Amino acid sequence: MPSAIVTGATGILGREIVFELGRNPEQWPTVHALSRSKKEDYPSNIIHNHIDLTSSAEEMAKDLKNVKGEYVFFAAYLQKDSEKENREVNGAMLDNFLNALNFTGALSSVKRIILVTGAKQYGVHLGAPKNPMCESDPWLIGSHRPPNFYYRQQDILHNFCARHSISWVVTYPNDVIGFAEGNFMNLGTALGLYAAVTKELGAELVFPGSERFYVGFDSFTCSKLHARFCLWAALEPRAAGQAFNVVNGDVQSWQTLWPKLAHRFGLAVKKDQFAEAPGEEAAVMELAEKPPVADMAAELGLVGSRMVYQGKVEQRVDLMKWSQREDVKKAWEKLAEREGLNKDALSKATWAFLGFVLGRNYDLVVNMSKARKLGWTGYVDSWDALSEVFDDLQDAKVLPKTE
């Protein structure tokens, strides 16, 4: 029977890996869930252990004394202010953790390490990637590109696994739809709060992001689907030594999702929401001068093309400022009081993150062919995933009940 170790056990992606392993105790009798905090109760086959991944390998080895597993899922992440710091800190966390497993002797039982990264692999935070994004696309390296912590983590993983004859898998999820207890850093929470407060204000639902992206395309990752993928990739022999995109399998657009969101919260979409030029509430942020696709322009025959343009994040409503407006705060307080909701939810939601997700002026289409060719058949409708997260957020008293 396989055993497992999961880091980032309380995170939006790691938590679902823990629960997916928890659903099947006969197949996975022993699972070690690791994080600094413990936020909820686990199924009987899950043992939670405290760990601080920012400590040295020697220190970590003390916390890992009784931790063993054949499959290691690394889904921890510590957000830092700059890409340079992200690279240093998140690289060191993985490196020290792997060395700690070596110190304790647990490494001798490890068969495969699954590292969770993301679509920043393709520079989706810098501007338009080449679409659809494929795992074989070249890494964005060179002096014109900022450091990317996923590249460092993957280099660490590849070298470590080669040295110790262990197999590995890397996942690239994008724009994760999920739920994590007490963690407001996800697009579903902020989106639900935006709709709930709009309803309380008696207003129509206005898309706060970019008009271009409203009719453009995105590929989302349901955290539950990603967890199922991780277990599949851990046990599939042909997945060894491979990186995989992991998205839901539908390509979505906000022109489809926005009316569904409005309907769920009993709202109407403002019919002419893009008719007027953006007003005082708008904000624009320019991204990298050259979008990621520019690095492949010669190969793709796109040198000099107007389609290779500098990316922007265009918010018709700057969500950070919106969340701090007096009328918004008052409406939330009233709603939270009346419905018995978590009052901190509005101030702790990640408005800048949602603003980024909705404001980009380029498409994000992620290709799933590589995994499908190896037999992966997982699929989730992105609206269903979002709707399920709203259900979870209602149960957790973050969002009000809707009819």
We find the least distance from the C-beta atom of residue 164 to ligand NAP, in angstroms, to be 22
Rounded Cα distance, 219 and 252, in Å: 6
Residue 11 phi, psi (nearest 5): -80, 170
- Reduced to 3 states, what is the DSSP secondary structure of residue 397? coil
Which residue of 4, 5, 6, 13 would you call a contact of ligand NAP, by CB under 6 A?
Answer: 13
Binding mask 24-63 for ligand NAP (x = CB under 6 A): -----------xxx-------------xxxx---------
Nearer to ligand NAP, 63 or 333 (CB): 63
Does the protein bind ligand NAP through residue 75 (CB under 6 A)? yes
Nearer to ligand NAP, 262 or 364 (CB): 364
Rounded Cα distance, 287 and 291, in Å: 8
Q: Which stretch binds ligand NAP (CB under 6 A): 8-16, 274-282, 291-299, 382-390?
A: 8-16
Which residue of 185, 302, 352, 374 would you call a contact of ligand NAP, by CB under 6 A?
Answer: 185
We find the least distance from the C-beta atom of residue 125 to ligand NAP, in angstroms, to be 10
Rounded Cα distance, 286 and 24, in Å: 46
Q: Within a 10 A sphere around the Cβ of 240, how many other Cβ atoms?
A: 15
Would you state the structure tokens that stand for residue 149, as one six-digit string? Answer: 């912590």
Q: Within a 10 A sphere around the Cβ of 167, how many other Cβ atoms?
A: 16
Answer yes or no: are the C-beta atoms of 54 and 93 closer than 8 Å: yes
Binding mask 79-118 for ligand NAP (x = CB under 6 A): -------------------------------------xxx
Which residue of 5, 9, 385, 398 would you call a contact of ligand NAP, by CB under 6 A?
Answer: 9
Which residue of 5, 6, 14, 359 would you call a contact of ligand NAP, by CB under 6 A?
Answer: 14
Nearer to ligand NAP, 119 or 331 (CB): 119
Nearer to ligand NAP, 346 or 389 (CB): 389
Does the protein bind ligand NAP through residue 121 (CB under 6 A)? no
Does the protein bind ligand NAP through residue 180 (CB under 6 A)? yes
Nearer to ligand NAP, 114 or 287 (CB): 114
Within 13 Å, how many C-alpha atoms sit on residue 299's CB side? 7
Nearest to 176, CA basis, from 399, 389, 396, 394: 389
DSSP letter string over 133-200? B-TTSPP--STTS---HHHHHHHHHHHHHHHHT-EEEEEEE-SEE--BTTB--SHHHHHHHHHHHHHH
We find the least distance from the C-beta atom of residue 307 to ligand NAP, in angstroms, to be 25
Rounded Cα distance, 62 and 114, in Å: 23
According to DSSP, the β-strands at 46-50 and 176-177 are unpaired
We find the least distance from the C-beta atom of residue 87 to ligand NAP, in angstroms, to be 12
Residue ranges of alpha helices (H) inside 252-306 are 254-264, 297-300
Which residue of 6, 11, 67, 361 would you call a contact of ligand NAP, by CB under 6 A?
Answer: 11
We find the least distance from the C-beta atom of residue 250 to ligand NAP, in angstroms, to be 17
- Reduced to 3 states, what is the DSSP secondary structure of residue 48? strand
Q: Binders of ligand NAP among 347-376, rule CB under 6 A?
A: none
Q: Which residues contribute to the site for ligand NAP (CB under 6 A)?
A: 8-14, 35-37, 51-54, 75-78, 116-118, 173-176, 180, 183, 185-186
